Structure 1
Amino acid sequence: MAPRVTKRRLASALFLLLFLSLYMSQGEESGIPSDGSLEMRRRMPVKKDRKDLIESVTLPDRWNTSKAHLEELNARRQHVQETCRKLGLDHPSPTNKLNAWEFLYNKEYNLLWCNVFKAASSTWFWNFNLLAGYTEKQLVKAKAAPVELARKRYPRPTVDEVQEIMANNPSPISFMITKHPFLRLVSAYRNKILAGNAIYTPLFKKIYRKYKHLGPPVPRRMKDGSLAGTGISPSFSQFVQYILDKEANGKSLDMHWIPQSRFCTPCLANFSIYAKTETLDEDGNHIIFSSGINHVIKPKTINRSVDVPTSKVAHVFICQLSEQQFDDLVKLYQYDLQLFQYDVEPFRNCTT
């Protein structure tokens, strides 16, 4: 049942929206939290006239993955395998099938990637498109989306083909990149809903009408935090309730907020590397140098937040939720949280 709006809750929501407006209007430009390895990868903004910010990445001359990092990557993989067994997800069934839809395989470098949208996907589509033979100039000027370009060179594989690739000798470097599910959800909301992405705007009126009891819609904001004219978008609470109701009714979820564990089915794919956006500088270097693509690609960071990073404002959005909505989100993303070892407790105390 949807939460009832009280005067206290409405006042709290208005305060949070005011706080968010002030916070986002600061126009701060900042990066993804670094583990210290960022200083090895100097970044320079280029092509500022593009809608999407593209940042150059200077790779180190050589890269030797530290023992501690190798142990961390191995520990992640073991944890996923053990958790899959405990959850009973390590064997296929009519309701638990390997999802091959988002896999891309580069045969030349024996590199297999399962794309997770809103988890460095634009950055790695850039890399895979370069490996596929596109030039940097073609990618910068292309009108087609990166995924469209990629699928012209990397046809979607079947489940049997993915399993065959996984069984190769030598084994491929297979990887997926994970992100805290709450941060990924907030990132998707900011980029696709709050900014008024044209693909999603037909959905807005439906959400307004159905969830008007959760409060009014909010002013539309662009990716740089500026107001987008007089447009409005569903509030984060409305957006979340829409997702929760779709899940409760057994409807499929959009690729930008579907659970990562459901999208890439790691319990059946058994990836060799589980990279994380939180440690992607180091994880990415390991993948790039281990596969040998450092001699081929000119890596970029694509679509990184150009105003306030999601990690800095996630609490502002999560705090607009009711306790019931929060608990339902935990249930929705429970496998992501368990498999990839993400904690929700820092967000819990501020729900209304």
Structure 2
Amino acid sequence: MKIIVVNQGHSRTRTYSGSGKWAGGLCCCAFLLSMAIGGGAMYAWLTNNQEQMLTSDGVKNWKQILDTQQQDLGLVRQQTQNQLDALMLRLSELQGRMTRLDALGERLTSKAKLDDGEFNFNEVPALGGPQEFAEAEAAYSKLSLIDAIDQLADQIDNREEQLDLLDNLIANRTLHDDAFLAGLPVRQGWLSSRYGRRTDPFTGKAAWHNGVDFAGKRGSDIISVAAGVVVWSDTRSGYGLLVEVNHGNGYLTRYAHNDESLVRVGDIVTRGQAIAKMGSSGRSTGPHVHFEVLKNGKPQDPSRYIYRASK
């Protein structure tokens, strides 16, 4: 075996001859040298990274890390449970509120005598819509507790809207019914003069009477036959102390010859409310109330309203 060694300048070379045993020994020395260098590097690395070694200290460190993570996990689990309990409590409150709203709606619907089905608080609100794609359907196939609460809140909003509409409907109907002219203008008294042609009590001649008269005890109550707004409360020629009430829709009522007025202009009165005391002021022969009904400024026969049933 020959080994040729060339120097850096390539000017000189040397040749060495040896047997096969000598060459094998040289290779073995090279292998051992490389193992020594690699072993030294590994030792240096392990010396500088002792925390990653499976020693008792390393195991202890990992155990501490795991314990900390377990504590953090327990805290997160407790917080999640607390939030879940709060959501369940909120859901129970919403369900109770829903039940009360339904009960109230049923009573109001029954009281208002509405047609069946117009306001149905016993059924879930009708829903609909086109079928969505499979991907969207899969995404919403499972409802979470939050979704259930949101749906219940939406149902409550729907019930509240129905109740608001129902309340407005009942209020409007009540106002309309209260403004409906019906009944006597006195609590106690009797009819002393009818509407139409009659003999004038002062002149004895035929005259036209635009109202009806109810005689009674001086100081007894004179009441409004319907709800409205007082538009006159003062004396007027021939009428004495007079009260006029505007009931809307062109209707106005007059109550004349009063001894005392109990209301002022602008006051809102209800059906059956005392608005004056019976007297004999103005052109009168004795305690009574002169009652007139006008529609769009034209006198009407009050008996048409006195004897009809209230709504």
Q: TM-score per shorter chain, which class?
A: under 0.3
TM-score relative to the length of structure 1:
0.21
Name the one with the larger strand percent: 2
- Scaled by the length of structure 2, what TM-score is found? 0.23
Report the structure number with the largest CA radius of gyration: 2
Q: Whose relative contact order is higher, 1 or 2, with alpha carbons under 8 Å and at least 6 apart?
A: 1
Q: Which has the higher helix share?
A: 1
